[in-house]
Amino acid sequence: MAMRPLKPCAAPACSALVRGKRFCGEHEHRAEQPKRAHDQRRGNSSQRGYGYKWQQARARFLQINPLCVMCEAEGRVKAATDVDHIIPHRGDTKLFWDESNYQSLCHSHHSEKTASEDSGFGNPRAGGRGYANL
């Protein structure tokens, strides 16, 4: 099996060559820093309003709406795994709990939609989310 080519470490002014990762051993801590800081700012799922009450509402909605609406629109049948807020709630409690703002999506469609709304996978929007106590 062919090996991946060597490429320069992504750290500025580092000439080390790496295979299959962005940073050399000396700079690998840089890969985790932005993600860790973002995770600490955003809080855990319960702090963002996705606690027990949401899990119950989600399960109930998926039981009634078991198929991904985007897959159905594409002429495919696929089980939904995620309940999406059609209009992002951005901490608005009323919008968060409004079931007319829910849609069932498969994980890949939910990830795709979330990434397009949030400026890419794991990349926070300018200004942050500003979640309220849901």
For the cut 80, the answer to whether the pLDDT of residue 131 exceeds it is no
Predicted local confidence at residue 107, as pLDDT: 95
Predicted local confidence at residue 31, as pLDDT: 66
For the cut 50, the answer to whether the pLDDT of residue 127 exceeds it is no
Q: In angstroms, rounded to a whole number, what is the distance separating the alpha carbons of residues 29 and 3?
A: 24
pLDDT tens for residues 31-66? 666 666 766 777 777 777 788 999 999 999 999 999
- What is the token pair recorded at 71? 């897959």
Q: Is residue 101 a contact partner of residue 65, using CB atoms and an 8 Å limit? A: no
Q: How far is CA 42 from the centre of its chain?
A: 12
- CB within 8 A of 128, min separation 6: which ones? 41, 42
pLDDT tens for residues 83-119? 999 999 888 999 999 999 999 999 999 999 988 887 6
For the cut 50, the answer to whether the pLDDT of residue 133 exceeds it is no
